[in-house]
Amino acid sequence: MVELELPVFQIHSDCAYAQRIWLVIERVSGNEERSVVPIDDGRQGCAEGKCPGCAAEPFRIKTEPRQVVSHDTARYGAHCVNCGDPVGWAYATFNTIFGLEEDERMLNKDFQRARVYG
């Protein structure tokens, strides 16, 4: 089993929470989208259906560190908890004030300093 460090389902800053989480499995015939529900206090996610590699059900996933792909959306490499195989990309959208990266800079307790916009 692959141990990965950053769950997609965890709070990413003090005020922004994941609003929608989904898994995209890339196949030759096209992408397959499945919804994901956080489980185990947000350390894992449970995706619809079975794992495409080992057919595990329930299909539990863990994720790699995030990549910001837009103002309010991040993606994470997803792996099956049962077999450790990479299974696609997990995406999450967040409520955000200034965007994911700027919210983290502004709300980080170690960084708190006034920023001027204008």
Residue 67 lies in a domain: yes
Domain range enclosing 95: 18-107
Q: Are 81 and 46 in contact (CB under 8 A)?
A: no
Residue 73 lies in a domain: yes
Residue 116 lies in a domain: no
Residue 9 lies in a domain: no
List of residues 6+ apart from 117 with CB closer than 8 A: none
Point out which residues pair with 79 in neighbouring strands.
Answer: 62, 86
Residue 77 lies in a domain: yes
Residue 11 lies in a domain: no
CA 69 – CA 47 distance, rounded (Å) = 21
pLDDT at residue 66, rounded to an integer = 83
Residue 80 lies in a domain: yes
pLDDT at residue 44, rounded to an integer = 84
Q: How many domains does the chain have?
A: 1
What tens-digit pLDDT sequence spans the chain (118 residues)? 344 444 444 433 333 467 888 999 998 899 999 999 888 777 788 999 999 999 999 999 998 888 889 988 989 999 999 999 999 999 988 888 788 887 777 776 666 665 666 6
